[in-house]
């Protein structure tokens, strides 16, 4: 809030300042001294003005592997990023010396995939487009937009960890748009009209076997079917859904919501064989499948557990997915008084919360990252902490400590630093001499064998055999697994002779799209909570779906970052720039930012202006004393005449 008040306040004062300046020049009310000062300053500036300093041509300027700009001024005083610029012209309008020029389209258009929320979404959902449909009261069209990328809009509306909200531009003014809540609202008010525009390609005669019916496998089966291939899923468990069914508690994701979306996939022609363990990929290929996808997820891994720091299989560790799957048969007595959970993702926080709900008095969650790393949603983290779970960040598993064969606890390394390099590979530095012990009766791990966070989500195992999802990336979020399932469907299609093109339009076209250059509306709509009784007797808070009025109001807060006046050229003339910084402050989208040459250039220009003012000071002094001097001269002349 503070930021917003400050920002609006400074903009208002800047505008008042500009208006007063222009008004004073026009009306002539500005004092002679100031008029002279501006006259001299402008004359001086005009004389000393270097030839216009055009910005360097568009190129990608990268820092730590990320594009930070596409253009910069010669001395790197300013960076301008084309993909962020909406062509709103605020910077050019506010510049007092007219240094900024934009060559932009007059008519606004949609720029696909550039809104910050869409860029943050692992599956690349066109968020502003579906948010606008919600704002218009058209929930089915909003759901159709989501279905262009994933077949699980409802599931994501319930459990997605919403990285989009972290990047939402609206938070610069107050709070981010409640994107996940809007998704849930739209999906729950869908009428199935997305099917009207669904196109299923004619049969290619190709068959794909998919091992595992988790989010990656089901998403892949859905898109392969649309491309005309015959997709058959083999699931070793009794029910389809993988971690969506077995690892997410009912109060977080009701099974009927999940099953409804799985049914929409089987209705298209996907076959799912449950309770069916596949023994050999080669057998499937021999049976006539043209391609095989391994999307077993962490539930399907039966190689035993191998943690990053331990070369031995720790068979006494309980797998988090097994714990959640068998939660109904777990008791406080079977777990003991103290439980340690290893891992920092959704599964870890859900396991910790479930253990607490069963009445375990001490539950510790140990993770190498900070609390609430990106694989767990803020709600999952908060719920676990509210339930009494103690989170220990910056620790990594070293070994189990046993006494007479019985688990006594875990020994942990302390981690000094943790991060990803440019290739998205994980690096962390362990402080070897600071081991820590936490007592435990049960140790549950959610870390998958040889987990390498940041590893590829999909890979080609051998020609025709592909792998995707948690089985190769380690436990990740549901939306990341869906994104992997969609991408691998494109790869499989190419292998089978297709073009791998998954683009489709299920929603109706939008009419009269206009940019929204100023925030409108009130603060974020709050999602209501209700108390639900758990199996263990405890009550938990669950989110309710937004009402139609609240959803509409919330959606109207969106800034429509994807609707832009296309900018063809942008220039900033540093020779006339006074480095007042108004353009940078005015840009809501951080498209024009100060670069590393800004400070030095600003200092230099300030020194020039100070020197100019000092020079003006001599003129001003001369002007001030002129009447006195003339008066004295007249008096002196009169006195001389008298005598």
Quickly tell me which residue has 């004393």 as its tokens: 625
Selection from 327, 307, 249, 303 nearest residue 445 by Cα:
307
- 454 or 519: CB nearest ligand SF4: 519
Listed ranges 85-93, 277-285, 300-308, 362-370: which one lies at the site for ligand SF4 (CB under 6 A) = 85-93
- CB of 577 closer than 8 Å to CB of 605: yes
What whole-number distance in Å separates Cα of residue 228 and Cα of residue 564? 36
- The pairing of beta strand 406-420 with beta strand 426-439: antiparallel
| Contacts (CB under 6 A) with ligand SF4, residues 581-610 | 586-587, 589, 591-592
Looking at the Cβ atoms of 472 and 479, the one nearer to ligand SF4 is 479
Q: Give yes or no for residue 168 binding ligand SF4 (CB under 6 A).
A: yes
- Between 390 and 517, CB nearer to ligand SF4: 517
CB closer to ligand SF4, 89 vs 197: 89
| Number of C-beta neighbours around residue 584 at 10 A | 17
* Contact region with ligand SF4 (CB under 6 A), list: 127-135, 248-256, 314-322, 491-499: 127-135
Under the binding rule (CB under 6 A), the answer on residue 551 touching ligand SF4 is no
Q: Does 559 bind ligand SF4 (CB under 6 A)?
A: yes
Q: Is residue 91 part of the contact set for ligand SF4 (CB under 6 A)?
A: yes
With beta carbons less than 8 A apart as the criterion, state whether 481 and 302 touch.
no
Q: Taking CB under 6 A as the rule, does residue 169 contact ligand SF4? A: yes
Tokens standing for residue 176 = 């981010």
Q: Which of 121, 123, 127, 270 binds ligand SF4 (CB under 6 A)?
A: 127
CB 525 to ligand SF4: min, Å: 13
User: Closest distance between ligand SF4 and the C-beta of residue 116, in Å?
Assistant: 4
28 exposure class (CB count in 10 Å sphere: 0-12, 13-18, 19+): exposed
Name the minimum Å distance from CB 117 to ligand SF4: 3
**DSSP code string of 411-461:** EEEEEEEEEE-TT--EEEEEEEEEEEEEE-SEEEE-PPTT--TT--SEEEE
Answer yes or no whether residue 465 interacts with ligand SF4 by CB under 6 A: no
Q: Considering only 31-39, 52-60, 125-133, 371-379, which stretch makes contact with ligand SF4 by CB under 6 A?
A: 125-133
**Measuring CA to CA, which residue among 117, 35, 120 is closest to residue 555?**
117
Number of residues this chain uses to bind ligand SF4 (CB under 6 A): 29
- The DSSP H or E segment spanning 22 is helix 2-27
Cα–Cα dist 158/244, whole Å: 11
State the minimum distance, in angstroms, from the CB of residue 69 to ligand SF4: 11
Region 132-151 residues binding ligand SF4, contact defined as CB under 6 A: none
Per CB under 6 A, does 407 bind ligand SF4?
no
Closer to ligand SF4 by CB, 177 or 216: give it: 177
Which of the ranges 165-173, 325-333, 336-344, 529-537 carries the binding residues for ligand SF4, by CB under 6 A?
Answer: 165-173
Report, in Å, the least distance between residue 450 CB and ligand SF4: 36
Nearer to ligand SF4, 90 or 149 (CB): 90
Structure tokens at 278: 């596949």
CA nearest 88: which of 591, 599, 555, 613? 591
Helices 378-386 and 346-357, packing angle to 10 deg: 30
**Of 83-91, 288-296, 440-448, 457-465, which segment contacts ligand SF4 by CB under 6 A?**
83-91
88 binds ligand SF4 (CB under 6 A): yes
CA–CA separation, 289 and 308 (whole Å): 35
Kindly state whether residue 90 participates in binding ligand SF4, applying the rule CB under 6 A: yes
Is 365 a binding residue for ligand SF4 by CB under 6 A? The answer is: no
Binding segment (CB under 6 A) for ligand SF4, from list 13-21, 84-92, 240-248, 484-492: 84-92
What is the rounded distance in angstroms from the CA atom of residue 18 to the CA atom of residue 491?
57
Shortest CA distance to 133 belongs to which of 123, 124, 120, 146? 146
Residue ranges in 63-82 that form contacts with ligand SF4 under rule CB under 6 A: none
Torsion (CA) 248, 249, 254, 260 in degrees, nearest 10: 30
Distance CA 346, CA 342 (A): 12
User: If binding is defined by CB under 6 A, does position 170 make contact with ligand SF4?
Assistant: yes
Specify the stretch interacting with ligand SF4 by CB under 6 A; choose among 126-134, 205-213, 372-380, 440-448. 126-134
Q: Check binding of 87 to ligand SF4 (CB under 6 A).
A: yes
CA distance 579 to 598: 8
Is there binding between residue 117 and ligand SF4 (CB under 6 A)? yes
Contact positions vs ligand SF4 (CB under 6 A):
85-91, 102, 115-117, 127-128, 131, 168-170, 177, 179, 558-562, 586-587, 589, 591-592
């Amino acid at each position: 809030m503070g930021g917003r008040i400050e920002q609006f306040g400074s903009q208002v004062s800047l505008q008042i300042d500009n208006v007063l300046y222009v008004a004073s020049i026009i009306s002539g009310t500005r004092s002679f001294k100031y008029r002279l000062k501006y006259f001299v300053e402008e004359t001086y500036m005009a004389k000393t003005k270097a030839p216009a300093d055009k910005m360097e041509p568009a190129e990608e300027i990268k820092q730590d592997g990320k594009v930070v700009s596409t253009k910069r001024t010669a001395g790197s005083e300013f960076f301008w990023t084309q993909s962020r610029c909406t062509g709103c012209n605020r910077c050019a309008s506010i510049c007092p010396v007219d240094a900024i020029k934009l060559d932009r389209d007059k008519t606004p258009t949609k720029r696909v995939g550039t809104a910050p929320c869409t860029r943050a979404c692992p599956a690349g959902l066109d968020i502003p487009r579906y948010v606008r449909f919600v704002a218009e009261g058209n929930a089915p069209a909003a759901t159709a937009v989501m279905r262009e990328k994933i077949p699980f809009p409802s599931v994501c509306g319930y459990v997605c960890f919403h990285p989009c909200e972290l990047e939402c531009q609206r938070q610069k003014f107050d709070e981010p748009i409640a994107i996940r809540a809007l998704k849930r609202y739209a999906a729950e008010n869908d009428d199935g009209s997305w099917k009207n525009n669904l196109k299923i390609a004619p049969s290619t005669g190709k068959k794909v076997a998919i091992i595992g019916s988790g989010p990656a496998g089901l998403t892949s089966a859905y898109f392969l079917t649309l491309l005309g291939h015959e997709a058959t899923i083999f699931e070793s468990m009794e029910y389809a859904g993988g971690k969506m069914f077995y690892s997410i508690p009912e109060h977080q994701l009701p099974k009927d919501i999940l099953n409804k979306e799985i049914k929409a996939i089987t209705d298209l022609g996907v076959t799912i064989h449950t309770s069916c363990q596949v023994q050999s990929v080669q057998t499937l290929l021999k049976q006539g499948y043209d391609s095989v996808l391994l999307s077993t997820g962490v539930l399907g891994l039966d190689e035993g557990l191998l943690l990053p720091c331990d070369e031995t299989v720790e068979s006494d560790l309980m797998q988090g997915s097994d714990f959640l799957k068998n939660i109904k048969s777990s008791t406080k007595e079977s777990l003991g008084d103290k439980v340690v959970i290893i891992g920092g993702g959704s599964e870890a926080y859900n396991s910790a919360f479930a253990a607490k709900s069963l009445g375990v008095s001490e539950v510790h969650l140990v993770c190498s990252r900070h609390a609430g790393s990106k694989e767990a949603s803020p709600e999952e983290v908060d719920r676990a902490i509210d339930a009494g779970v103690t989170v220990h960040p910056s620790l990594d598993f070293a070994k189990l400590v046993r006494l007479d064969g019985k688990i006594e606890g875990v020994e942990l390394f302390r981690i000094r630093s943790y991060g990803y390099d440019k290739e998205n590979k994980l690096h962390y530095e362990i402080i070897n001499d600071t081991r820590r012990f936490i007592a435990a009766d049960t140790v549950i791990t959610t870390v998958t064998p040889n987990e390498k966070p940041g590893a590829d989500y999909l890979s080609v195992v051998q020609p025709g055999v592909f792998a995707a999802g948690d089985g190769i990336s380690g436990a990740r979020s549901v939306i990341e697994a869906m994104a992997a399932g969609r991408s691998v469907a494109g790869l499989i299609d190419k292998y089978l002779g297709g073009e791998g093109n998954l683009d489709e339009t299920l929603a109706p076209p939008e009419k009269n799209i206009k940019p929204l250059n100023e925030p409108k509306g009130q603060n974020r709509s709050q999602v209501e909570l209700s108390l639900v009784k758990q199996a263990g007797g405890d009550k938990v808070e669950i989110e309710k779906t937004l009402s139609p009025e609240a959803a509409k109001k919330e959606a109207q807060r969106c800034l429509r970052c994807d609707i832009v006046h296309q900018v063809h050229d942008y220039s900033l003339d540093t020779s006339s720039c006074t480095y007042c910084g108004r353009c940078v402050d005015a840009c809501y989208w951080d498209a024009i930012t100060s670069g590393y040459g800004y400070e030095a250039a600003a200092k230099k220009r300030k020194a020039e202006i100070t020197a100019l003012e000092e020079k003006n000071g001599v003129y001003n002094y001369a002007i001030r004393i002129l009447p006195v001097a003339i008066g004295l001269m007249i008096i002196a002349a009169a006195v001389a005449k008298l005598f």
